[in-house]
Structure 1
Amino acid sequence: MERWLALELVSTIRHDGDGGVTDDLATTHGTTRWIQAQADLLAGHLPAGELTADEGLRLEITELRRSVRALFARAVSPAPPSSADAQRLMPADQALGHLNTVAAREPVVPQMDWLPEGTPVARLLSTEKEPKVRLVAALARAAIDFLSGPQREQLRACTAPRCVRYFVKNHGRQEWCKPSCGNRARAARHYQRQRVATASDIKTHRD
């Protein structure tokens, strides 16, 4: 399955396995661990494996995440957004403004490399020296690329019980982010049908 940096960012809010929601960016330690886990996706921007988050960086990333989640909610509309923050989403115009502002914090210019025996490779050249600025700007640009690309049309909020993830639909019949969510959703539907049938039987006997 293809990985997108923007999707990885919003997925730091997730089901905790016990019926609740957990936040992978709730602490500086968790934020550092998440940044380092994205080293391959950030390889063209900075050496993420060497970056340690402080509280200021954590707050910048979580505020950017709020913006991206609000825009993900807009992208899946009129279907419902993730239930994790559906009641407290940042207004879409505010989210868009914040995203663009953060992306602009790092001035970059496109450069192309083309070896004699290879194919053209594009990269962004930056003059920004502060790695924390480069990181947050790279996350914002990744969100812009995702939301302006074709994968936006396949973005969905998983509707399985307790799941709060967004995912990109890979095939026409896909309803959930992963098989375990599909199993849980089918089990919940079966349980609901059984309850309805039982209630109907009880009513019939009473009548």
Structure 2
Amino acid sequence: MSGISMGSGKNEHDLILEMQKDLRDAAIKHFGCHDPVFKNGKEAEKALHRFFNWYDSSYAIPAIGMTPDEAWEKRHGSRKETLHPKLDMIYDATEVGIIFDEEAGMGIAPDYGFVKMLLEGEKETIKNADALVRDIVKGLLLPPHILKKLLRKNEVRAVRVFGRVYPQVRTADDLDRLMKKHQREWDIPPKPGIKPVHTADDGAVSSEEG
């Protein structure tokens, strides 16, 4: 996948954030949400390929009124090849989430579905919940920025869920302190997931998803 966004007068960082927001909005339009979950890595890979085929050929980027394919052809005079991310290293992983975030870009998260069940599902307890909570706290499942967003959607529930494993957690502030203790990057803003390849004088940026 290679996205293009244009915005005269904007710096490179702002353009990248704009591109990531476009990608997130496209994901919501295509999947119905910004963080779809698939039963395994192979299914996630297939879904990702379908998404980027659709995104490059059919999604009109609001800022320029063209699809990524059209913008690329206009700039380079030829059609580009859609890149298909490979997820073969996690084919056997379960409940794999594809997360599109306007600040951090796109990420792949095995077991993301279990985390969402725990924090947003109908029941607050699931199989192996205690082990899952410990892995979350250790930073083994999600980057801090994404985890923060999940926790803040329902802080009262998050406190209950984590408090069952960590009795010192009685408030949202307690939970925040717990995360800071175990995750050194808890308060560090995320780096954009899109890596700029070239910035032109006219404000156009071509990119690759990191």
* Both structures adopt the same fold (TM-score exceeding 0.5): no
What range is the shorter-chain TM-score in?
A: under 0.3
Q: Rg bigger for which structure? A: 1
Q: Greater RCO between the two (CA within 8 Å, min separation 6)?
A: 2
